[in-house]
Structure 1
Amino acid sequence: MERRLTAILAADVVGYSNLMGNEEVGTLERLKICRRELFDPAVAEFRGHIIKLMGDGALVEFASVVDAVQCAAAIQRRMAEHDPAVPEARKIRFRIGVNLGDVIVEDDDLYGDGVNVAARLEGMAEPGGICISGTAFDHVVHKADVGFTSLGERRLKNIPDPVRVYRVLLDSNKAGSVAGNARRPSVRAMILPAIGIAVLLVAVLASVLWRHDWRHPSNSDRTSVAILPFTNLSGDPKQDYISDGITEDLITDLTKLAGVDVIARDSVFAYKGKPVVLADAARELSVRYLVEGSVQRAGDELRINAQLVDMTTGKSVWADRFDRNASDVFAIQDDLRQELVSALGIKPSATEAKRLSRAPTSNLEAYDYFLRGEQAARSGERDGLQQALAFYGKAEALDPAFAEAFAFDARATVNIWRSSFDHIIQSALARKRAYEKASLALKLDPDLSSPYAILGIMQVVDRRYEEAIASAQRAVALGPGDAEAQIALGYVQLFASNHTEAVAAVETALRLDPNLSPIDREIAGLVFLLNGDTDKAVETLERTRDDAPAVSKFRIMLAAAYARANRLAEARATLAEGLQLLSGSEPSERSLSDWRIAFAHFRNPEDLALIMDALGQAGLPEWPFGFTADEKDRVKGEALASIVLGHTMQGQLEPGGQPAILQISQDGSAGFRSKSRMYTAKFYVDRDLLCEQSENIFGRPDCGPVYKRSGETGEGYTYVNSAAVFHFTTVE
Structure 2
Amino acid sequence: MERRLSAILAADVVGYSRLMERDEAGTFDRLRTRRTELFEPEIASHHGRVFKLMGDGLLAEFGSVVDAVECAVSLQRGMAERNAAVAEEERFNVRIGINIGEVIVDGDDRYGEGVNVAARLEQLALPGGICISGKVAKEVEKKLAFRFDSAGRQKVKNIEEPIDVYHVRIDASSPRRILHKRGISRLWWALGVPAAIVALLAAWMALYYPGAETSPVVSNTIPSVAVLPFKDLSVDKSLGYLGEGVANDVIAILSRFSDIAVVSRTSSFAYQDKEGDIRQIGKELGVGYVVEGSVRKEGDRVRIVAQLVNAKTGDHVWADRFDKSGTDPWALQDELTGKIVGAMTGEFGAIRKADYSQAWGKDSTNLAEYDYYLRAESQLNLYTKEGLERSGEISRQGLQVFPRSPLLTVELGWSHWLKVALLHSSDPQVDLQEAERLVNQVLADKNLSPQVTRLANWLNAWLLTLKRDHDGAVVAMNKAIAAAPYNAFTLTDAASIFLQAGQTEKALELTDVAGARDPALSWFVNYVRGFIFIVLGKNEDAVEVLKTTEFADAPLQLAIAYMRIGRQADARAAVEKMLKLAPGATIQSWRQTWNFRDPSILDQAAVDLAHAGLPGSPTQ
Could you say which TM-score interval applies, normalised by the shorter chain? 0.3 to 0.5
Q: Which one has the largest radius of gyration?
A: 1
Give the alignment's TM-score, normalised by structure 1: 0.38
Give the alignment's TM-score, normalised by structure 2: 0.43
Per residue, is there more strand in 1 or in 2? 1
